[in-house]
Every structure is written in C-alpha cells, then in structure tokens.
C-alpha cells in the first residue's frame, strides 16, 4: 500500500535517513521504533506528503486513504466534540452543520420564511440520512465514550477542553474515519488506563494497515505484528511483536559483536605476521599477498551501543511502620462527593498503586496524602520520620525556563559536588552538551526526567507519584522500573502503564463510588482475581 524507496533526508546538519527502504502492506500493524530524534515523526510527515524526501520516493497506491494523528492537534473551537469528530468524515459533517442551523431556524418563532426553511430542512435531512449521518453520530459518540468522554463533554464546545482532551478528540476523528491506513504518533499519550485498553481493543479489530509509535510497550505488544526500527539512518524490519523485536535485536547485536571480535583477532594475527616479516626478502611475496588480502576485507562494524540509562538509589532513611494514615476523611468539589468517611493506612515498604475509573478521585487521594489539598473533614497524618517526595504533572511547569539542566540540579543541591551532579544528570539521560540546555527547550520527557533526578538524588523514604511515566520513552521507563525495584522505601502511585503497575506494586487500592476496595497483592494478582485490567473493564 505504501513503499519507501531508497529515501534520504537531512534535517539541518543531521542525516535522518540514508537510502532507507521499507513497506507497509495491507493488514500489517507496524510499530515504528528508534531513539528520540531518530526521525519517526519526519517519516510520518513524508508519508502524508507534508515533507518530501531529499532523495528517493514515497509511493502510495492510488485511492488509498490515510489518517494521521499527531501530537500537534491545532486549534479547536466553536463546535461540540461530537461535531469536531464527525468533521473528519467529510461531506456528512457539512450537511450536519446545515441541518443544525435549519433546526435552530425552525425553532425561532419569528422565522419569516418558515415554509421555505421547512422544505430545505426536509431536503437536507434526506441527504443526511443518505450519507449515514444518524448512524455516524452514534458511532462518533461511541468512540468518544471509549475515550472516556461524558455525554456533557461530547456536547460542550471543544474550546473548553484541556490540551489532553483535545488530543483525544483529534484521535477520535481518525478512528471514526477508519481510513485504509492509520498513522498514529504516540496515541497512548494522555490516555487513562480504561481509554488505553479500549483503544487497544479497537485497533486489534481494525482491518486496515497501521503504523504507530508508542512509549507503552504493553500496548504496542498487543497490537503490532511487525516492527520497523529507525537507527543510524536505516530502516530495518522485524516480523513479530515488540517483545520478539527486543529479543531479535539483542541476538543480532550479540552475533555482530562475536563476528567483530573474530575479525579483529584475525586482523591482529595478519598484521603481526606482516610487521614481523616485512623486512625479510625471503617472505616478501607472502607479506605482499597478505597486505592485498587485508585491503580487500570488508570490515565488520561493532554493534552500535545505545546509551543505557541507569540510576541507583542511595539508601533512604528508615521511616516508622505507619507511613500515612487517613481517618474519616470527607472530600467534595462543589456538589460532587469524592470521599465520604475514608479510612486508609499505608505501611512501610508497601507499594500501593491506586486504580479507579476516570474522575473517581485517584489524584485527589494523592493530593490529600501530600497535603496539596485539605480534607473537608477528618485527618491525614504522616508517621514518624517520614520524608516524602511528590511527583505531580504540574511539577514540570515549576522548572525555571532560563536555568540550564545543570543549574536546575545545582539549585536543588547547592552543596553537592559537581562530579556527583554530572553523574546524576548522565544517569537520567543528560550527557555531554545536554546538561547546558535551557529548561524552556526541553521536551516533556526531558522535563519529567529532570524533575525525577531532582527528586531522587537525596532519596525520600516515601514516594508519591502521579502518572510518573507520562512523556517517558520505553528506555527511561525501564531505567525507572529497575531503580524503583531496588528502592527500599514506601510508594503510593497512579499510572496507566500496565508494565509499570505489574513490575512495582504489591498492594492495590481501587477507588469506587462506594469507597476504596483494598486488594492485597500487586496489579498482576488484581487482574487475576477480578478478571479485569482496569475498573469497569472486563477482558
């Protein structure tokens, strides 16, 4: 359906693609992977025609429809979320807009040309039915409901929605369109666990071709049947899911390393012979023969070493056995009751993940525990010797944009040795010149890494984390999971990443309208016991 034929592309001084080729066939669901900045978004833009390759061709079969979802959703206002989603379906949205205007005119008691408007209304209504408009609106609402929209949000002006919810509207447009080819650039960003699982099921049932990027390995693993890796300017295809790709890449690197070492040993042996006998006339022919042989040998390159992020906690001071206690806590926002008579005790070394449907009060629980919000009634009591750190989404906005990465670390730890802070920065992926970047130019993922570095350098014994994996790529998530696995303190966290939940939790608190259900055992045991991966969703 789509073929990339020997494409080359340069972005400024950076070579993104060098004579790279790949193909997307009917029915294939492909995960596009590669380090940050490798050119994944540029590849999408070349397929849609927004950018041209410097050399080579992007070939698309005639008549193939393409839907592209990117993080840059643009402006949205003046229409409801449903109308915005239906707009992606073409003519029917124009007809729907006229129908709505005619309905409003007919409801106006001062309407002068009532008969003419009524006649036009009949014509437009017939055209709307012919285009499947009524069924389409139902489907649009179904998609939005899957992405956790309430009926009220569906009918309200999209201008009132936050950036994250506008992204869901943009995603719903593509899903409703059901094009022949879907290009999805990080569709799992900004989704809660329920929406993520719904989207996963939707894409599993989608019969078109799919090319997507995602920082959620579990999500990708369950959808894709092929991986295209961008690395060093080339495109390499692997048949299978993400897990198979990881295993295959590791095996390929191991084989390439062994081949490289064998060749290096052979070259060393030949060079030693040449050096030893080059001055002897009796061996001149042999030496000349070996020199020619060495000139013709194609050199094996060592495998590219990806920067491995690693961070090890310093030992955290020990807290008392009771870390935080909530007693008879009441919390409401306006007329909406979030908690009524809530009792929760979190003990030392527990790793509690908080689950709950969208709007159930997961973040509110974290805010109550950290003191970011006060209970209306009841008490929240921290235990003895508790040293707490709180990672919230707004923490990234508090970074001083004019400070460099290094200055941001230095500000937090003015007495720390420079070498120690540089090592900390390196552990969180800021190496070389990266530590001189001003905070204002950092990506969401870089900001999240910097905030975590500042939070974890002088380790607390109680970590409260609200969606810590948002914006983080797969490699950084793996580093964080690895570091937190060794952490000896207490954790309370909300996450929509199932790999993160399963790897780190040993207790589940499920927020429901009836109160909190407490499950001993981690997320994996919760799934096994309830038969659901998220509250209200059955497998």
Over the chain (539 residues), the average pLDDT of each successive run of 10 is 94 88 95 87 94 95 91 82 83 77 83 84 86 84 94 93 91 91 92 93 95 94 96 92 91 90 90 87 85 88 72 85 96 92 96 91 95 96 95 85 94 91 89 91 88 89 93 87 91 95 96 89 94 75
In the sheet that 209-213 helps form, which strands lie side by side, from edge to edge?
Answer: 66-69, 181-185, 209-213, 29-33, 226-231, 234-239
First to last CA, the chain: 33
- pLDDT attached to residue 127: 84
The residue behind tokens 């209306």 is 376
pTM value > 0.75: yes
Q: Which token pair is 508?
A: 């589940």
- In degrees, to the nearest 5, what angle opens at C-alpha 385 toward C-alphas 382 and 390? 55
Give the span between the Cα atoms of 61 and 492, in whole angstroms.
Answer: 51
How far does CA 18 lie from the centroid of its chain? 27
The residue behind tokens 């499950």 is 519
- Cite the beta strand spans of 316-461 per DSSP E: 322-333, 336-347, 351-356, 377-382, 388-391
According to DSSP, residue 438 is labeled B
CB 239 within 8 A of CB 226: yes
Give the span between the Cα atoms of 211 and 32, in whole angstroms.
Answer: 7
The residue behind tokens 């359906």 is 1
CB 2 within 8 A of CB 24: yes
CB 518 within 8 A of CB 349: no
- pLDDT attached to residue 539: 43
Q: Which token pair is 113?
A: 């040309």
The residue behind tokens 């399963």 is 502
According to DSSP, residue 534 is labeled B
Give the span between the Cα atoms of 396 and 408, in whole angstroms.
Answer: 12
- pLDDT attached to residue 156: 92
CB 454 within 8 A of CB 434: no
Query: Residue 450: which of 471, 467, 466 has the closest Cα?
Result: 471
- pLDDT attached to residue 305: 64
- pLDDT attached to residue 278: 82
CB 34 within 8 A of CB 230: yes
- Output the CA torsion sign for 451, 456, 461, 467: positive
- pLDDT attached to residue 14: 83
Distances (CA, A) of 473 to 108, 211, 439, 468: 54, 18, 18, 11
Q: Which residues fall within 8 angstroms of residue 381, CB to CB, at 6 or more apart?
A: 324, 325, 326, 327
């Amino acid at each position: 359906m789509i073929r990339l034929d020997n494409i080359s592309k340069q972005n400024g001084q950076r070579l993104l693609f060098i004579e790279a080729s790949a193909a997307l066939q009917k029915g294939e669901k492909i995960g596009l992977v590669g380090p940050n900045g490798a050119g994944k978004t540029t590849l999408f833009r070349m397929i849609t025609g927004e950018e041209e390759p410097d050399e080579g061709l992007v070939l698309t079969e005639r008549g193939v429809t393409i839907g592209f979802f990117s993080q840059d959703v643009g402006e949205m206002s003046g229409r409801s979320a449903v109308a915005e989603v239906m707009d992606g379906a073409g003519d029917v949205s124009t007809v729907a807009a006229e129908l709505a205007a005619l309905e409003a005119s007919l409801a106006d008691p001062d309407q002068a040309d009532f008969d003419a408007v009524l006649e036009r209304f009949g014509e437009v209504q017939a055209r709307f039915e012919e285009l499947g408009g009524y069924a389409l609106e139902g489907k649009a609402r179904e998609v939005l409901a899957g992405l956790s929209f309430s009926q009220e949000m569906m009918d309200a002006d999209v201008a009132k929605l936050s950036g994250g919810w506008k992204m869901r509207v943009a995603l719903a447009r593509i899903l409703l369109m059901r094009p022949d080819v879907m290009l999805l650039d990080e569709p799992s960003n900004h989704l809660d666990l329920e929406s993520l699982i719904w989207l996963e099921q939707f894409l599993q049932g989608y019969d078109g071709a799919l090319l997507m990027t995602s920082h959620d390995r579990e999500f990708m693993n369950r959808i894709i049947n092929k991986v295209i890796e961008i690395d060093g300017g080339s495109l390499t295809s692997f048949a299978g899911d993400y897990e198979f790709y990881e295993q295959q890449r590791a095996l390929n690197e191991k084989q390439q390393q062994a081949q490289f070492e064998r060749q290096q040993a052979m070259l060393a042996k030949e060079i030693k012979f040449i050096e030893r006998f080059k001055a002897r006339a009796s061996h001149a022919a042999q030496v000349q023969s070996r020199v020619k042989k060495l000139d013709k040998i194609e050199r094996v390159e060592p495998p590219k070493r990806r920067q491995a992020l690693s961070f090890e906690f310093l030992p955290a001071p020990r807290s008392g056995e009771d870390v935080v206690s909530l007693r008879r806590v009441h919390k409401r926002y306006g007329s909406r009751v979030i908690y009524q008579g809530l009792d929760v005790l979190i003990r030392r070394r527990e790793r509690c993940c908080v689950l709950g449907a969208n709007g159930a009060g997961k973040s509110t629980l974290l805010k109550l525990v950290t003191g970011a919000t006060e209970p209306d009634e009841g008490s929240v009591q921290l235990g003895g010797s508790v040293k707490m750190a709180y990672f919230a989404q707004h923490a990234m906005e508090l970074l001083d944009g004019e400070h460099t990465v290094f200055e941001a670390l230095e500000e937090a730890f003015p007495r720390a040795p420079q070498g120690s802070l540089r090592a900390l920065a390196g552990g969180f992926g800021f190496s070389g010149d990266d530590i001189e970047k001003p905070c204002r130019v950092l990506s969401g993922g870089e900001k999240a890494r910097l905030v975590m570095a500042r939070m974890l350098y002088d380790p607390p014994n109680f970590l409260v984390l609200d969606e810590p994996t948002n914006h983080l790529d797969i490699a950084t998530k793996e580093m964080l999971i690895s570091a937190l696995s060794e952490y000896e303190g207490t954790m309370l966290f909300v996450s929509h990443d199932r790999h993160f939940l399963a790897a780190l939790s040993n207790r589940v608190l499920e927020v429901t309208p009836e109160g909190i259900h407490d499950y001993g055992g981690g997320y994996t045991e919760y799934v096994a016991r309830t038969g659901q991966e998220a509250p209200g969703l059955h497998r």
